[in-house]
Chain A
Amino acid sequence: MINTEQILAKDNDGKPVWKFLVSELKPRGKYFTPFNIISVPIILIGLVLIVIRFIYGIGSVTNLTQEVPWGLWIGFDVVTGVAFAGGAYVITFMVYILNIKKYHSIVRVTVLNGFLAYVFYAGALLLDLGKPWNVINPIIGNNFGVSSVLFLVAWHFMLYMIAQLIEFSPAIAEWIGAKRARKILSSMTIAAVIFGITLSTLHQSGLGALYLMAKEKIHPLWYSEFIPILFFVSSIFAGLSMVIFEGSISQKVFSDQISEKNHKAHNGILHGLSKICAVTMFVYFFMQILTFIHGKRWNFIDTPMGYWYLTEMIGFVLLPMMLYYFSFRANNLFLIKLASIITMIGIIINRLNVTIIGFRWDAANPYYPSWMEIVVTLTVLFIEIWIFRWIVRRLPVLSESPSWVEEND
């Protein structure tokens, strides 16, 4: 066993690690930014709602019914959120497996984003559990429900979080100046990446497979036996669109962190990603058409749900796909960013169509999320952004690694 404490202490130029950590806890930056002014009250209300939920039950803050037992917290926070976090496995695949150096500068921030997303969506999942203290049962083996897709997804979430933490851990080591620990941790990266991509393939599709048994409950335009593969393929461009969108914001907000070189390289990155998005969206669109024909869905087209389906497919898949393609050809950054936003809206619509809008679309009393569910969702999101910002300002995520790293490698 290696004594981590020792490694940390010795390598940190004699400065005690814990004192350093405490000094880093102090907030930096301005207090009254627009983001803070909006997010702080919402977070406070959200925390109160969470307390109410634990005292009076899930029904006291949500509109869930006996027919619609999964609402916004699962359909948006978990199912949609995890699709957006897909960028991490795609980018690590390109950088570490295909060895495309071009995307190296965005690996850390993407992995960090993915990691935080999983931590917080798993957190949101706990809010939705009636007996969250029993969440350890499927882990400790009381009992293993191995025939359950949810069992698979739950385990994968957990393992993937560990894999992502390992992928990100060299940044933590650089931050506290633990040279030897960094060496050990970065030697584990490639194994974590391979493991992480495998897990992602399975749980991105697994999230879709969760709904396979709800055959009669989901509108036939969105239910098919191919939900898993559709979820998987769409997670590629969902994740990359998120990377484009988030990257464009970070370039502005954290411009002080980003070196001149990486700042310039960013446009090239967006250009490359737009091509991958266009191609994967084409594949996805093609699969949707096959599914449409295979499922004999013509009869449903001339109905309100049918129009909604066409809106999704044409307005939020075909259109952004073409935008990505033309912006790639014309190298138009504005159009790339626009396409990423439309794609993300499309993914939200798609996931909600399967999980909420199309789920029990014919119910006598349909489910609409309560304002409290929305506030709690925003709370989770805002806390995540706070933590993300805290980390980016301190750790070498967007900024270059400390100078000792190069020699050490």
Chain B
Amino acid sequence: MGINRLDFFKVLGLTGVSLAFGGKLNARQTKADQPELENEDQTEFVGILYDSTRCVGCQECEIVCAKTHGLPEPVDEPNPDIVRKTNETRRTVVNLYETTKDAMLVKTQCMHCNEPACASACLTQAMFKTKEGPVIWREDKCMGCRYCMVSCPYDVPKFEYHSSNPKIIKCDMCFDRVNEGSVPACVENCPAEALTFGTRRELIAEARRRINNDPDLYYDGIYGEHEAGGTGVLYISAVPFEELGLNTSLQKKSYPELTKGFLYSVPSIFILWPAVLLGMFKATKNNQNQEEND
């Protein structure tokens, strides 16, 4: 990349960004570039592996999800002609796609990103990446600004537009259950064992094992291993993921990375700008009759 963000901000007239600060910045950025499988206190993130080849489309996950979270049960079924979407009344949906190898099923819900855009967007940390891994939403903090919705690359958070006290609705990987040592309701009730719960590291190993054991069945790849900086929910399937409506054009870097250049430049502007302005003020102060220098 020829010009980077930081260079550009220097054009603002802030040529004095100190070397020390620049050095620190680079150190932090390289660290952030590495996929983070662990957070600061070394707890491993948990996640869910979804195996599309095992899914039978029974919608049991949708039904138990609705029951667990007090939402209406689904009335429609997976249908190759319609892409069903999650919305303020359902946190997960299963869709049927006509693919190059038969009709295939795919479940969608929040991806529980390693570095979630939604949580870094949230100005009150109502959207929050727990140290265990699930990304949760906390009602008492949320102000309903919907910036999480603007930022999420998967369009996951949904908003109750017709409520005077609206909530953000999204999958929270049944955080309460996970906290009690149990597994998410959908995982527990899936009759086909299409869903597996575990640490992200175990799940990636398991996914690799399945692909290697049956390379004819599986497409060689794990969706979510690198997308958007890596996600807690991982997919394996028989066909390339774009055939299942999964967005494969997302960047591999995490999304919060996109705003870091800007946010890092803030402290330097806050230190430099007032000093520069004060200097200019002093320099022109006694020049009472100055006109615009045409």
Contacts and interface: CB of A to CB of B under 8 A. Distances in A.
Interface stretch (A8-16, A52-60, A344-352): A52-60
A326 to B, nearest CB: 16
B52 to A, nearest CB: 23
A3 interface: no
Interface in A119-151: 128-132, 134-135, 137-138, 142-145, 147-151
Interface string B217-251: 00000000000000000000000000000010111
B3 interface: yes
Interface string A84-108: 0000000001001111111000000
Interface in A345-386: none
A185 interface: no
Given A57-B160, A131-B142, 11 more contacts: A57-B166, A131-B165, A132-B143, A135-B143, A142-B124, A144-B125, A145-B120, A150-B121, A154-B123, A198-B274, A217-B150
A201 B163 contact: no
Given A101-B289, A101-B290, A147-B120, A209 B141 contact: no
Contact of B123 (A56, A100, A145, A214): A145
Contact of A96 (B123, B163, B281): B281
Given A100-B291, A201-B273, A215-B153, A148 B123 contact: yes
A190 interface: yes
Nearest to B152: A213
A152 B270 CA distance: 12
Given A97-B277, A102-B292, A205 B150 contact: no
A interface: dominant SS: helix
20 contacts: A60-B161, A62-B161, A66-B159, A102-B291, A129-B143, A134-B144, A143-B125, A147-B256, A148-B121, A149-B259, A152-B263, A194-B273, A198-B274, A201-B12, A202-B270, A213-B121, A216-B250, A217-B150, A229-B11, A232-B12
Nearest to A136: B143
Interface of B: 2-3, 5, 8-9, 11-12, 85, 87-88, 117, 120-126, 140-147, 149-151, 153, 155, 158-166, 247, 249-251, 255-256, 258-259, 261-263, 266, 269-270, 273-274, 277-278, 280-281, 284-285, 287-292, 294
With most chain B CB atoms within 10 A of its CB, the pick from A58, A69, A144, A195 is: A69
B interface: dominant SS: loop
Interface in A224-259: 225-226, 228-229, 232
A128 B143 CA distance: 10
Contacts of B121: 145, 148-150, 213
Nearest to A128: B145
Interface of A: 54-60, 62, 64, 66-67, 69-70, 93, 96-102, 128-132, 134-135, 137-138, 142-145, 147-152, 154, 190, 193-195, 197-198, 201-202, 205-206, 209-217, 225-226, 228-229, 232, 272, 275, 290, 294
Contacts of B5: 225-226
B274 A194 contact: yes
Nearest to B144: A130
A99 B12 contact: no
Contact of A101 (B87, B143, B250, B291): B291
B123 to A, nearest CB: 4
B292 A66 contact: no
A97 B262 contact: no
A51 to B, nearest CB: 11
Given A58-B161, A100-B292, A212-B259, A138 B123 contact: yes
Contact of A210 (B147, B149, B155): B147
A147 B254 CA distance: 14
Nearest to A211: B150
